[in-house]
Structure 1
Amino acid sequence: MANDPRYEGKPLLRLLELYVLKAIGELSRESEDALKAMGPKLQAIYGGDGQWDDAIAQAMHMPDTMPEAIRDMWARNLKIARDNNVTLTPQQFAEMFVDNNFAA
C-alpha cells in the first residue's frame, strides 16, 4: 500500500484512513503497534498528547467528537450497503470518508 499512487505526495492521507479505521474498530494490531511507535514523532510534527491518533486529530483540527461521528457514519453506510446488497469494506469506507471530509 505504501507504493500506492493514491498516497504519493500526501503524507497525511494514509494516516487519516488509519484514524478512521481505528475509530470504527477495524485497525489491525500490526498497524496499531506501528502507529504507537510513531506517536512521539507525530506529536513533534503535529502536536497532541503523544498518541498517534491525537496528533492526527490536532493536525486536522478535529473536534473531540470525531471518532463518534465516524462510527455513526460507518453504521449508516453499512446499513445503506446492506439494503442495496453491496459489500462495504472498512478500507473502502475509510477512503470514502477521508476523500469526502478531508479533500485537499
Structure 2
Amino acid sequence: MDATSGLWPVAAGRLAAVLVLLPGAARHVERLRMPRASLVQALLVGAGAALGLVLYLLAAQRQLLAVAVVLASLYPALPVVLGLALLHEKVTLRQTTGLLGAAAATVLLTIG
C-alpha cells in the first residue's frame, strides 16, 4: 500500500458501501424510521468502523502490521465484552470458546 495514497482507500470504501446499501434502504424508507437515539448510535458505529479502517490503513502505511494484526485478532471478543459490560448479558459456552480462541490467536500472533 502506497503511503502517498493518503486516506483515499478508506473514503472510496465508505462511498462504495453507501452506494451498495442506499438502494435497499430507499425501498424500505417508511420502515426505517427510528428514534433519534438509535440514529445517533448507528452513526457512532459507522464512525467507529471508519476510524478502525483509518487506523489500519495508517498501520499498513507505516509498516506496523504486526501490531495491527494482533489488535485485530481481538475483534471477536469486543462485542462479547461490550455485551457483558453494557447489557449485563451472561456468557454462553460458545462465547467462552470464542473468547478463548481469540486469546489463543493473540498469543500465537504475538510470539509468532
Q: TM-score, normalised by structure 1?
A: 0.27
Give the TM-score normalised by structure 2: 0.26
Higher CA-based Rg: 2
